[in-house]
Amino acid sequence: MSSKRYVIYVSPSEWGIVEPIKTISDYIKSSLKRRGMNLNEVSDHQITRIFPHLERFLQGHPKTLTISDILDTFSKQFGFANEEEKNNVQTAVARLVDRLSMLKRRDPVRVYKLIRSLRTLLIGFVRGYLSLPIQVYEKQSEKAGGEV
């Protein structure tokens, strides 16, 4: 019954950012695998292609254009296996950009630092430095199962 438990927990407020990054990293990993590329041959620059777009977004580039630019870059660099994957990535990018615009309103300086941290995090996820499952209590169900 007993088992070792190593899970990275994130707080609910962070989950909005970590989840899209995780989705994007999964997508990049699977696309590289699909094309039979070795992770050692891929540069950090290649992995983090979305970040120039995100930085431009913080400098005032419109939100919708940023999302479409990022998806263009993805389809050029990594390609999409099917429509479902594309939709997933699109949703993730939109959520990330949404969250960033919110954080930008709250603290415009810190959000630049956040972008840099996220870049490191994405590289970590893709290269497998951080391979532990990530968990948060996100789903909100109205069922009063636990209440007595």
Partner 1 sequence: MDHESLTMTITKALSKDLKDFYREGIEVENFYYLVLSCNPKFYPISGLQHLVGSGILALRLCEFARNTFDKDLSDYDLAIAFLSGLFHDFNKWHIGSEVMRSNILPLFRETQVFLSLEDVLGEEKLVYALKDAIDLAMHLESGGLRRGLQKVARYVRVADYITGGEEYWNVSEVINLLIKELSIDARYLLPLIIGRQRPLISIVSEMLERRLEDEGAVPLVSTSTGMLFLISKEIDVERIKREIAELIQTPSEEKGEKESKIIRYASFRDFLSGRRKLATYSKTFISIAGYSPEDIKRTYEEVKKIPADLPVFITVLAYIYSKDPNKVEKGEVRVRKFIEVLRSVDSSLEVRGRKVGDMLKELHNTLLSKDVQTLNALANKAVEFIISEINKFKGVDVDLIMRKISNYINIGLQKNVIEEVESDEYCASCREPILVSRALGSYLQELRNLIRGLNISELFHPDVQGKPEKVGAISDVSRKLSVCEICYYELIEMHKRLNFADGMWASVLVYYPAMSIDLMKIISTLIPQIRERRETLPVISDYMTSRIIIKEASGDLKRNDLEDALRLWYLFGGNLVLTTTAFGSAFVWRGLPIEIEVTDIIIEEIVNEYMHILTEAEKEYGRGLRRGRHVLFTKNIRYWLYRTLQNYIAKLEESRIRKRNRIEIRLLRSGLQATGLPTIDVYSFVLNQLKKG
Binding site for partner 1 (CB under 8 A): 1-14, 17-18, 107, 110-111, 113-114, 116-118, 120-121, 123-124, 129-130, 136-148
Nearer to partner 1, 97 or 111 (CB): 111
Q: Considering the complex, state which of residue 72 and residue 138 has its C-beta at the smaller distance from partner 1.
A: 138
Length of the chain in residues, anyone? 148
Q: Least Å distance between CB 121 and partner 1?
A: 5
Q: Which is nearer to partner 1, 8 or 81 (CB)?
A: 8
Q: Collapsing DSSP states into helix, strand and coil, what is residue 107?
A: coil
Rounded to the nearest whole angstrom, what is the least distance from the CB of residue 79 to partner 1 in the complex? 27
3-state secondary structure 74-141: HHHHCCCCCHHHHHHHHHHHHHHHHHHHHHHHHCCCHHHHHHHHHHHHHHHHHHCCCCCCEECCCCCC
CB of 80 to partner 1, least distance (A): 27
Minimum CB distance to partner 1, residue 75 (Å): 28
3-class DSSP assignment, residue 7: coil
